[in-house]
Each structure stands twice: as C-alpha cells, then as structure tokens.
C-alpha cells in the first residue's frame, strides 16, 4: 500500500498558500484492506474512505471511462493494479495532477509544477472534454488565481469552447452547477469566472440573460464604462473587494438583467429595466435552484436598486413603501445587504470606484427611524388587527417625515 497526498494540497503548498483540505490517494490496495484498517467508506460511486482518526478522505487509485452524458456519465475502475500516473491523468488540470509521498517527494508526470511556475491553467489530457463540469471548474480556478497572474491555456479554452457548443453543459444538474457557481462567486476575483465562461461560450448557454448584457450601451454620464456587461463585471469585482457575502454577490451579478431586453432603438436609455428584469432574475434563480436568501435579495435588488441610488430624493411615503417591501422590521439584515449591493452598483463604474455613497447611511437612518415607532402605545389606545397595522404605518410615515426634515447628509 502506497499513500500519496494529491490535488489542491500539493498545488497550494507549492504556491506558498495555506493548505486547508487534504486529499489522499492509495495505490496498491483493496476495499477490504482499507476496511480492515478501520477506514470508513463514504463513496457511493467509487471507493472513498474516511481516516479513522483524522477524518481526511482517502480514495483508492482509479481509472474512469465515459459512459453517458454530463458530470455523472462515467464508470470507474479501482484495483490494486491501477498506478498513480493512471489515477492522476483523469484529473482536470496539470496543477491538480501532482502527488507527494510522506517525505514530500513530488510525482509530476504531466508537468504541473512547470505550469504553476508559468501561471498556466492547462488540461491534463483530451479526456478533459468528457466532463462538462470542468468548464465551470477551470473558470473558478481562473477566478481564484487571477491575482497571481494565472490564465487559461489557449488549447484548454478551445476544449472548453467545444464542450460549450456540444450540448453537454445542459446535462449538468442545477445542484452541481450551483455548487461551482457559488464557490466561484466567493473567490477573490469572481468577475474573472464570468469573463472566462463568456470567452468559451459557456455563459451564453448557462446564463444567456447575463451574456446578453455585453455590447448593450448605457448613458456615458452615469456609466463611463458604457457597456452593461462590463459594468456587471465591475460591480461583482467591487463586491469581492469589499468582502460581501454570497447573497450580495449573486444580486450584483443579476441586478441589471432587464437592460438586456431594451430594444436597440431605445439605447442607451433603459426605462423600467428594473421591472423588466424581474422575470429574468426569477428564471436564473430557478434554473440553478439558488438558496432562498439569494433568490429573494436578487429580486429585491433588481427591483429597487435605482430607489437606493435616489434615496435622498424619495418622498417619505416612497421610503416607507421601500422599507415595507424589505420587511425591515423583522429582517433588518436583508435591507442592509440591499444597501451594500446598491453601493457596489454605484462603485462599479469606470473611474468612480472610490466615490462616496451617502445614500447608504441615509437609508440606514430611515430604517432606524421607522423601527423606532413603538407598538405598545397604539395597543394602549385600543388599536388591533388591520386598524393597528394602519396606525403603525401612519406613525412610521410621521417618523420618516421628521427624519427627512432633520437628516443631514
């Protein structure tokens, strides 16, 4: 039995990055021998085991063969005869196809270390094109390591393009796609993920609503970058720079989808794009079965982000409607995420990345003013049921009028 550390743990150690998860591959043994040593089986499709003490994953060396469509369309073969090199060749990228023994002796049959040094993301073998999920994975690695200067090898991008055109991407399940998309959005440069998907034609297949934004102009006075797609990438970049959570990043990606529906003769204006975009945001949400909090925030930001930008001009009654729409009394965090999404939208414009956004604190103050209205005095006056709701609205409206009159921005 020979045991090797493989994949990301080797890659990140060589890059000088922190190593978090460690995967091991075991060569020259059987399932029975692993069980006899106390390893616990967890792999349904192929033999993967948890170490009895550390809980780390140990997988038997295996080969794989394409047997159907999509990510799951493979049959696996594990036996003591499968070599380390045979196991490594089935991996996606050369930088993920290296192994180390216990003494840190490197096994690198596909020149992953050279590609690390040259900052290249390159596929290991032509079998790369058999797994559509790898299109998303490579784009995610591009987002993760863009700051270190990594780019996708032209021949790998070509294979990704072939996959995108083959119809195989449609075979991906919503769950697998969302897992990669959500991880990619939380990388340091998620805009690179979207750009790489676009470069290989995958964005047009997976998110045609986002792809449609590229080439659509906006008024230069408000958007010096002009292109709606470039603006979306910039907003996403700002969200990552400001360490925003997944909910905000997802909303930033989808907030302007309505601009892709504007007829060319109306360019560069996009009247009512907020409302038009809602059906598109809903479609993307459902396609990837995004978590409920991501879905809700994306729809709310899509509908109300221009309200956020015009916050200082809004009437007290409109402010109240905005706060009610977010259920700001029971769900204050969702309104806070809306505010920061609006700020990222404002900053995601060429040359305006450092602009101040006084609307943020103004909206926070408005929410505080509305929440400060106490229910108890109204109950003591005998209000109940629908009448109580109406009385609360009246008092909150008064509080917002006072706030508007006294707020200094």
Task: Give yes or no for residue 44 having a pLDDT over 80.
Answer: no
pLDDT average, residue stretch 13-37:
92
Using the predicted structure, report yes or no on whether residue 296 has a pLDDT greater than 90: yes
Mean pLDDT of 355-367: 96
- Give the mean pLDDT of 168-184: 96
Is 285 within 8 Å of 253 (Cβ atoms)?
Answer: no
Pick from 84-88, 113-117, 294-298: least confident? 84-88
pTM of the model: 0.92
Taken in order of first residue, the domains within the chain and their CATH numbers are: 1-118 (3.30.460.10)
pLDDT tens for 101-120 read: 999 999 999 999 999 999 99
Burial of 14 (0-12, 13-18, 19+ CB in 10 A): middle
Residue 72 has pLDDT above 70, yes or no: no
Q: Looking at the predicted structure, is the pLDDT value of residue 68 above 60?
A: no
Average pLDDT over residues 3-27: 93
Which carries the bigger pLDDT value, residue 42 or residue 343? 343
pLDDT-derived band at 175 (thresholds 50, 70, 90) equals very high
pLDDT at residue 43 above 80? no
Distance CA 95, CA 75 (A): 24
Residue 363 is encoded by which pair of tokens? 């909206």
Torsion of CA 258, 263, 269, 271, to 10 degrees: -50
**What are residue 74's DSSP bridge partners?**
66
Judge residue 117's burial from the number of C-beta atoms within 10 Å of its C-beta, 0-12 exposed, 13-18 middle, 19 or more buried.
exposed
């Amino acid at each position: 039995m020979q045991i090797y550390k493989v994949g990301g743990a080797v890659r990140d150690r060589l890059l000088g990055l922190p190593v978090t998860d460690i995967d091991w591959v075991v060569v020259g043994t059987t399932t029975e021998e692993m069980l006899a040593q106390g390893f616990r089986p967890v792999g349904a499709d192929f033999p993967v085991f948890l170490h009895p003490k550390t809980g780390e994953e140990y997988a038997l060396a295996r080969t794989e063969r394409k047997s159907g469509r999509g990510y799951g369309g493979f049959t696996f073969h594990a036996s003591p005869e499968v070599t380390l090199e045979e196991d490594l060749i089935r991996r996606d990228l050369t930088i993920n196809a290296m192994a180390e023994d216990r003494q840190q002796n490197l096994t690198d049959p596909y020149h992953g270390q050279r590609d690390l040094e040259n900052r290249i993301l390159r596929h290991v073998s032509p079998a790369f094109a058999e797994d559509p999920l790898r299109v998303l994975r490579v784009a995610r690695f591009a987002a993760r390591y863009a700051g270190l200067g990594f780019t996708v090898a032209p021949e790998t991008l070509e294979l990704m393009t072939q996959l995108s055109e083959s119809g195989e991407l449609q075979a991906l399940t919503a769950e697998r796609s969302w897992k990669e998309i959500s991880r990619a959005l939380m990388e340091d440069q998620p805009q690179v993920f979207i750009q790489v998907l676009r470069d290989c034609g995958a964005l047009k297949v997976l998110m045609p609503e986002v792809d449609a934004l590229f080439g659509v102009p906006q008024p230069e006075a408000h958007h010096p970058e002009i292109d709606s797609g470039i603006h979306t990438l910039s907003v996403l970049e700002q969200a990552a720079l400001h360490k925003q959570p997944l909910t905000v990043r997802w909303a930033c990606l989808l907030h302007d989808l309505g601009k892709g529906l504007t007829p060319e003769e109306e360019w560069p204006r996009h009247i009512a794009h907020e409302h038009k975009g809602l059906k598109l945001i809903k479609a993307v949400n459902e396609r990837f079965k995004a978590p409920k909090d991501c879905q809700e925030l994306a729809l709310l930001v899509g509908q109300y982000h221009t309200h956020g930008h015009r916050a200082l001009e809004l009437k007290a009654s409109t402010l109240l409607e905005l706060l009610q729409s977010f259920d700001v009394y029971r769900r204050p965090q969702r309104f806070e995420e809306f505010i920061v999404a609006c700020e990222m939208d404002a900053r995601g414009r060429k040359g305006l990345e450092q602009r101040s956004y006084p609307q943020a604190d103004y909206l926070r103050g408005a929410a505080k003013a509305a929440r400060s209205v106490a229910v108890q005095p109204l109950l003591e006056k005998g209000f109940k049921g629908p009448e109580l709701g109406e009385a609360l609205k009246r008092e909150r409206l008064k509080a917002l009028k006072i706030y508007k009159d006294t707020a200094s921005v």
